[in-house]
Amino acid sequence: MLCISAPAKVNLHLHILGKTENGYHILDSLVCFTDFGDTLTFEEDKMFSLNIVGEFANLLQSHDLAGQNLIEKSVREFENATNIKVNLRMTLNKNIPLGGGLGGGSSDAAATLNALQRIYKTDINLEKITAKLGSDITACLNAPRPVIMRSTGNDISPAPVLPQKTPAVLVNAGQHCATPEIYRTLKMHEFSKSVTFPDRFDAIDSLSDFINTHTRNDLYAPALKAEPSLTKTIDIIKQQTGCLLTRLSGSGATCFGIFETEDMAQQAASQIKTTHPEWWVVQTTLLS
């Protein structure tokens, strides 16, 4: 049996640089991964099957038509590319909320492809598969290493050297933002520019200062139009002691805060859970 993690993705920034002729948005984003996420197990069997368990299992199953989730699509694309029949019993422990901007489906798909490559000992170029499946999945192949994601999501380069462990808190107040709808409602009078990063950030505060000063999330405005209460979530994270940076991740609706220390992040998560027990709150670490 093989057990692997599919970490949650956090976009520290997300700039829209333009659109391609066929309508895809051109992106520029520093993508980090956390020590929190989904887990997948793989066991040999006589045929392929996928069992979904965990906090968000029922919600995922109700949203997905049979055979249409990204894990199953990834398996089919792997089979087509390798002529290998995947006979595995897979179990997905679904901990990452749906429609949260944390790349749960993309991370699951990437973890699945990495696992199949390992199990069947192939050397195919997985990026050729991920390019067919979704813009975040190629970046997620590199998890847990942070990357710079550009173009339509398939141009991946190494991120600057980041602090070894950056304390963070993820918060979702129960909203769901559908990524295609957020992009459809995006209206930009002037596209953003690509970010030039220094080679390294030795401290959490220097990373946070740079992100705050030189970057933004261009999807925040359309996400806010869809979910106006996002401002409350952002404000509550920002009010916590030791918070250095607060942003919406990806297209939302999960927001995150970066904190000076792990203790401050733990205290913030506890405080937010106490005052808003109905919210989804996780204290985690951004990995370098």
Whether 64 is catalytic is: no
pLDDT of residue 287 exceeding 70, the answer is: yes
Mean pLDDT score of the chain? 94
Say yes or no: domain 2-151 is CATH 3.30.230.10: yes
Report pTM.
Answer: 0.94
Q: Could you write out the DSSP letters of every residue in the chain?
A: -EEEEEEEEEEEEEEEEEE-TTSPEEEEEEEEEEEEEEEEEEEE-SS-EEEEESTTHHHHHHHSPTT-SHHHHHHHHHHHHH-----EEEEEE--SPTTSSS-HHHHHHHHHHHHHHHHHT----HHHHHHHH-TTHHHHTTTTS-EEEEETTTEEEEPPB--SEEEEEEEE-S----HHHHHHT---SS--------SB--SHHHHHHHHHHH--BTTHHHHHHH-TTHHHHHHHHHTSTTEEEEEE-TTSS-EEEEESSHHHHHHHHHHHHHH-TTSEEEEEEEE-
123-147 tens-digit pLDDT: 999 999 999 998 889 999 999 999 9
Whether 132 is catalytic is: no
Mean pLDDT of 238-265: 97
Residue 64 confidence (pLDDT): 60
Residue ranges of the domains in the chain? Answer: 2-151, 159-287
Same fold, 2-151 and 159-287: no
Pick the CATH number of 159-287 from 3.30.70.890, 2.40.160.10, 3.40.50.720, 2.60.40.1080: 3.30.70.890
174-191 tens-digit pLDDT: 877 777 788 888 887 789
Catalytic residue chosen out of the listed positions 28, 108, 136, 218: 136
